[in-house]
Chain A
């Protein structure tokens, strides 16, 4: 049972445009959500997180939106850059703990120059 779903395996955008990566979850006990970026041959790198008490968190070009009623979150990257090309994983945890993350299967983002 996939509790965290990233339904788009891949996404392609033009440099300078907005990238929107989506993530859905089914477990209403999740209360902390994270996005990780992963380049080939490297481990995932933390990008941005959001607690369930918020509906938006922004860090530079990256903004995460959380819609609890829809059990949906999204990552917006504006403007997209070629260096953003990577696999993006959405992850969730419960009880405020971070040590057991449930990941989605990832979305490969390609930003074309």
Chain B
């Protein structure tokens, strides 16, 4: 079974631009979560989608948004990029709606904002 895939793997943007990251979960998994990893803050939860609905959201500004498609693929969008948005963005998928199942992470998209 193929793992979680994320595209692109690396991205360079400038301040003020917007960016869209993509995540394809493991086949059959319906839950996709997004995390931001920075050296100072570690891994922080952004949001989670299940069956095209955002079920949970972390403490990030509205510039961070996401969506999930009927095939469970998910996209994350960051508008008006700031230097502090430079990070590794990880998505994770799981098969159950919650409880007892672990998340499987993709390799991440490394975003650099100049």
Name A's B-contacting residues (CB within 8 A). Answer: 32, 34, 36, 41-46, 49, 89, 91, 95-106
What does the 1/0 interface line of B34-63 toward A look like (CB < 8 Å)? 010000011111001010000110100000
A-B contact count (CB 8 A): 68
Q: Across the two chains, which residue of chain A brings its CB closest to B46? A: A100
Q: Are B107 and A100 in contact (CB under 8 A)?
A: no
Q: A99 contacts B100, CB within 8 Å?
A: no
In the bound complex, do residue A106 and residue B42 qualify as a contact, i.e. CB atoms below 8 Å apart? Answer: yes
Are A44 and B43 touching (Cβ within 8 A)?
yes
Given known pairs A44-B105, A103-B44, the reply for A98 and B100 (CB within 8 Å) is: yes
**B100 interface neighbour in A96, A103, A105, Cβ under 8 Å:** A96
Q: How far is the CB of A80 from chain B (nearest CB, A)?
A: 23
Interface residues on B, range: 20 to 34
Chain B residues lying within 8 Å of A95, measured Cβ to Cβ, are 98
CB-CB under 8 A from B108, the residues of chain A are 42-43
Tell me if B4 counts as interface (CB < 8 A to partner A): yes
Known: A34-B102, A45-B105, A46-B104. Contact between A99 and B44, CB under 8 A? Answer: no
Main secondary structure of the interface of B (DSSP, over half): strand
Residues on B close to A: CB < 8 A? Answer: 4, 31, 33, 35, 41-45, 48, 50, 55-56, 58, 90, 92, 94, 96, 98-108
CA distance in complex: A100, B107 (Å): 18
Residues A99 and B4 in contact, CB atoms below 8 Å apart: no
Question: Which secondary structure dominates where chain A touches chain B?
Answer: loop
Residues of B within 8 A of A89 (CB): 42-43
Given contacts A43-B106, A45-B105, A96-B99, contact A103 B42 (CB under 8 A): yes
Q: Which of A46, A98, A105 has the most CB of B within 10 A?
A: A98
Q: How far, in Å, is B63 (CB) from chain A's closest CB?
A: 20
Known A89-B42, A100-B56: A41·B107 in contact at CB below 8 Å:
yes
The chain A residue sitting closest to B101, CB to CB, is: A98
